Amino acid sequence: MEGSLNAKHGIKFIEFNARFGDPESLNILNAIETPFKELFENIQNQTLSNENCTFKKINTFTVYIVTPTYAISSSKEPMKFTLNRENIEKQGVKIYFASTKQNEGNNYESVGNSRLFAAVTTDTSMEEAKKRVYKALERKYRFKFAL
How many residues are listed for the chain in this entry? 147
What's residue 32's pLDDT?
Answer: 92
Q: Which domain holds residue 93?
A: 16-146
Q: Does residue 21 lie within any of the structural domains?
A: yes
* Per-residue burial over 55-89, b = 16 or more CB atoms within 10 Å of its CB, e = otherwise: eeeebbbbbbbbbeebeeeeeeebbebebbbeebe
Q: Does residue 10 lie within any of the structural domains?
A: no
What's residue 143's pLDDT?
Answer: 55
Higher pLDDT pick, 74 / 3: 74
Reply yes or no on whether the pLDDT at 34 is more than 80: yes
pTM for the model stands at: 0.77
What's residue 15's pLDDT?
Answer: 59
Which residues, in sequence order, are bridge partners of residue 96? 118
As a whole number of angstroms, the distance between CA 94 and CA 120 comes to 5
Q: Does residue 29 lie within any of the structural domains?
A: yes
Q: Does residue 38 lie within any of the structural domains?
A: yes
Q: Summarize pLDDT for 50-63 with one digit per residue, the tens.
A: 899 999 999 999 99
Q: Does residue 3 lie within any of the structural domains?
A: no
Q: Does residue 4 lie within any of the structural domains?
A: no
The pLDDT-based confidence of 147 (bands split at 50, 70, 90) is: very low
What's residue 19's pLDDT?
Answer: 72
What's residue 8's pLDDT?
Answer: 67
Q: Does residue 48 lie within any of the structural domains?
A: yes
Long-range contacts for 92-98 (Cβ within 8 Å, ≥24 apart)? 92/121, 92/132, 92/136, 93/119, 93/120, 93/121, 93/132, 93/133, 93/136, 93/137, 94/30, 94/119, 94/120, 94/121, 95/119, 96/21, 96/26, 96/120, 98/21, 98/64
Count of structural domains, the chain = 1
Q: Does residue 5 lie within any of the structural domains?
A: no
Reply yes or no on whether the pLDDT at 46 is more than 80: yes
Mean pLDDT on 5-27: 68
- CATH code of 51's domain: 3.90.600.10
Mean pLDDT on 26-38: 90
Question: In 10 A of CB 41, how many CB atoms?
Answer: 13
Reply yes or no on whether the pLDDT at 95 is more than 90: yes
Reply yes or no on whether the pLDDT at 133 is more than 80: yes
Reply yes or no on whether the pLDDT at 11 is more than 80: no
